[in-house]
Structures are given as structure tokens and as C-alpha cells.
């Protein structure tokens, strides 16, 4: 963020705090609703959903062979291979909205076709592992699967359209290898890495199960013990530190924005009249979808903040 942008944000914040009619009932209700939703998310979603998801994302960032994924996006790769790979790479690489653009630029400049690169750009933030897991935990797994499939299909369509429109710019650059700058192979068996990943995923799943609390606690403690066993007895100190760094890096980039988004979502429930939401986007019609799409196109939601905002809009009557 540039210095003038920081100054502008501070100035806007100052004016809001200075001019806000703090004694007005709607202001007090809005603040209370925002804090109440933050309290709900902290109790129900942060420890049981987000924390495991961030560790899973850190595992993907360290132990998935990124170069093997990126190589498959090259212009020489068959479309029926390149586009499906591009449409799921965002989830595999655990990218968020703040890192997708430089990754897109990097793979395109190194020779990726414009179509697969755009598919990767479009779908990355939508299907990254934390976004899908939070969507499933908050809005339901049918919603999460629908989001996953829709994002993948639309990304392929967008990539094919861009490849056709910019076919003259879709050059083949074979001088640079995709592996340049990518992380190398890790000295562990695929079985060990897969077990490490599945145990973390199992912790996330068990947290969401409606089972006896004692049984749930025993299962979670057992799986965490197995995870720690792999960490201390299988992985090196260097890789463990890298895993923690990647996890923390993603957490500090996403969590503050998520908290702000959750607070705003709580305010929306108070300040946005339910009849307005119902009238504009309350039905599954072409017009309602066009209005929602247009609104979404002009809004910027940091990664994961779209989930609580949609949750509240659906509570107000959005279809």
C-alpha cells in the first residue's frame, strides 16, 4: 500500500470517528451487532475451523511440489490437461487474493498460456483451501461444493475466452523453466506427507461433527499427538520452521481482514433493510443474479470476508 493510500485511510477513519452520531440508536445497535458477530465467529469458527485450515494451507505451501503443478500450465500442454489443472491449482497452492496477481504474472511471463493463466487467476482466491473450508463450516458443505464446482467451470470458460481474444499475445516462451525460483523436492516419502495432511484434515472434520464431546476430545487429542509425532520424529527442524512460517504468513495476511469483514457483516444486518435485500436479490432470477454480480464486481472483499457477509445477506433474504 502506498503512503498516500495509508494517509487517505487514516483521514477517512478520523472523519468517521469525528462525525459519527455516536449517541444515535442505530449506531449503537450497529456496533453491538458487529461485536456480537465477532464473538460468535471467535467461539464457533476460529479455533475449530480457521486454525486447522491455516495449518493445512501451510502444509500445502511447504510440501506440495509447486514446480510440478506450474509446469502443467505451459502453452505446449494440451488444453484438456492445462485448463483443469489451472482451475484447481489455486486450492493446491493455497493462494489468497493478495498473492494471486504476482503468481499469475510469474507463470505467464515464464511461458504459461494466457488461457490457463487466466483460469488460475480467476479461480485461485475462490477455491483456496481456507475459503472452501470456511464456506463449508459456515454456509454448509453443499454451498461449498457448489462454489468449488462453479468457480472451476467459470474459470475454464473465462480462460478460453481470453485465449481467443488475446491469441496474438499468447506467445510461447520456452527459454525459462517454470522450476526457476520454485521450491525443490522435500526429502520425505509421499506416504508420510499424505498422512500428515490427512491427520490435519481429520482434525478439522472431527471438530465439525455432532458427536459426544468426550469422544470428540479423545479423537482430536489422539490425532494431534500423531501430528506432533510426525513433526518431531519425521520432519527436520528446518521444514517445521518453514511450515510454521507459512502458516503464520497466511494467518497474518487473512485474519485481520476477516475480523473486519465479520464486523461489517454484523453491521449490515442492522443498517440494510430486509425488504431492500428481498426486493433486489431475494429470488433466483436472472435480474437478481445480475444485480448481485454487478455489486460483487465493484466490491473488494479480502479473502474469507465474503463468507460472513454472504451469511448475513442470506439471513436478510438474499436468494
- pTM here is 0.66
Per cent of the chain over pLDDT 70 is 83
Q: 287-296: long-range contacts at Cβ-Cβ below 8 A with a sequence spacing of 24 or more?
A: 288/319, 292/318
Residue 180, pLDDT score: 41
The secondary structure of residue 285, as a DSSP letter, is: S
Average pLDDT over the chain, rounded to an integer: 80
Residue 186's φ and ψ, nearest 5 degrees, are: -95, 145
Residue 225, pLDDT score: 96
Alpha-carbon distances of 244 from 48, 261, 287, 318, rounded to whole Å: 18, 25, 46, 39
Tell me the C-alpha distance between 138 and 134, whole Å: 6
Is residue 117 a contact partner of residue 86, using CB atoms and an 8 Å limit?
yes
Residue 160, pLDDT score: 92
Average pLDDT over residues 239-256: 87
Instruction: Name residue, grid cell 461489517.
Output: 264
Residue 171's φ and ψ, nearest 5 degrees, are: -85, 160
Tell me the C-alpha distance between 233 and 227, whole Å: 10
Amino acid at each position: 500500500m502506498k503512503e498516500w493510500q495509508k494517509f487517505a485511510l487514516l483521514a477517512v477513519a478520523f472523519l468517521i470517528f469525528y462525525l459519527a452520531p455516536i449517541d444515535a440508536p442505530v449506531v449503537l445497535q450497529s456496533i453491538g451487532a458487529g461485536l456480537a458477530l465477532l464473538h460468535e465467529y471467535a467461539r464457533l469458527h476460529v479455533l475449530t475451523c480457521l486454525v486447522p485450515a491455516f495449518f493445512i494451507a501451510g502444509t500445502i505451501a511447504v510440501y506440495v511440489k509447486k514446480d510440478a503443478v506450474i509446469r502443467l500450465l505451459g502453452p505446449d500442454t494440451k488444453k484438456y490437461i492445462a485448463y483443469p489443472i489451472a482451475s484447481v491449482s489455486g486450492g493446491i497452492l493455497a493462494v489468497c487474493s493478495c498473492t494471486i496477481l504476482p503468481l499469475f504474472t510469474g507463470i505467464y511471463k515464464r511461458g504459461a498460456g494466457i488461457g490457463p493463466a487466466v483460469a488460475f487467476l480467476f479461480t485461485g482466491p475462490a477455491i483456496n483451501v481456507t475459503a472452501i473450508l470456511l464456506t463449508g463450516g459456515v454456509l454448509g458443505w453443499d454451498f461449498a461444493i457448489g462454489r468449488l464446482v462453479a468457480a472451476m467451470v467459470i474459470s475454464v470458460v473465462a480462460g478460453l475466452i481470453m485465449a481467443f481474444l488475446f491469441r496474438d499475445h499468447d506467445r510461447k516462451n520456452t527459454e525459462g523453466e517454470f522450476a526457476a525460483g520454485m521450491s525443490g523436492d522435500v526429502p520425505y516419502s509421499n506416504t508420510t506427507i499424505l498422512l500428515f495432511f490427512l491427520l490435519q484434515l481429520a482434525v478439522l472434520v472431527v471438530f465439525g461433527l455432532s458427536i459426544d464431546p468426550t469422544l470428540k476430545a479423545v479423537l482430536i487429542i489422539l490425532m494431534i499427538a500423531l501430528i506432533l509425532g510426525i513433526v518431531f520424529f519425521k520432519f527436520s527442524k528446518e521444514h517445521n520452521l518453514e511450515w510454521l512460517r507459512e502458516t503464520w504468513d497466511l494467518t497474518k495476511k487473512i485474519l485481520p481482514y476477516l475480523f473486519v469483514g465479520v464486523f461489517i457483516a454484523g453491521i449490515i444486518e442492522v443498517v440494510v433493510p430486509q425488504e431492500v435485500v428481498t426486493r433486489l436479490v431475494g429470488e433466483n432470477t436472472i435480474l437478481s443474479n445480475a444485480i448481485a454480480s454487478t455489486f460483487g464486481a465493484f466490491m473488494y472483499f479480502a479473502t474469507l470476508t465474503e463468507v460472513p457477509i454472504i451469511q448475513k445477506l442470506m439471513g436478510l433474504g438474499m436468494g
